[in-house]
Amino acid sequence: MQMTVESIPGQASTTILGLIGDLDASNFESVIAKAKELYSSGTRRMLVDMGELNFMSSSGLVALHSIILLMRGENPPDPQAGWAAFHAIDRERDSGPQSLVKLLNPQPKVLLSLQKTGLDKFFEIYTDRQAALASL
């Protein structure tokens, strides 16, 4: 998997994180590490561009949830904690959409994973980049 990072002019604390390829157990921790790095450098709101993300496993869901926690200034659960990470997602999923991390253009398979887990209710999902950025 590859990642791209784009800072938004005029919105110093907003970053677009592009995910390209497959997000799974082999690389989800690198996504969390990148989000930590971006938070440390001032990012507080993030648009995750999933337009070129072909596949996302359950580990990818943990990475997305961890990004939210990081943008809120919280520590994400230990990714090696197994079910504890999923229980943390489950506790928050029904709280409604959060406002710090938005998703852009998830591919059909990825969107289906979000829908099956109910996380499509936790993330605002956009197909228009400008509308997504305006919402942050």
What are the tens digits of pLDDT across the range 21-31? 999 999 999 99
The mean pLDDT value of the chain amounts to 89
Under CATH, what is the fold of the domain 2-135? Transcription Regulator spoIIAA (3.30.750)
Residue boundaries of the structural domains of the chain: 2-135
- Residues 29 and 5: their CA atoms lie apart, in Å, by 16
**pLDDT value at position 18?**
98
pLDDT for residue 91: 62
Return the amino acid letter for 45.
R
User: Within 10 Å of residue 113's Cβ, how many Cβ atoms?
Assistant: 20
- The packing angle between helices 83-93 and 58-71, to 10°, is 60
pLDDT less than 50: residues of the chain: none
Task: Give the pLDDT of residue 77.
Answer: 78
pLDDT, residue 33, reads: 96
pTM (two decimals): 0.90
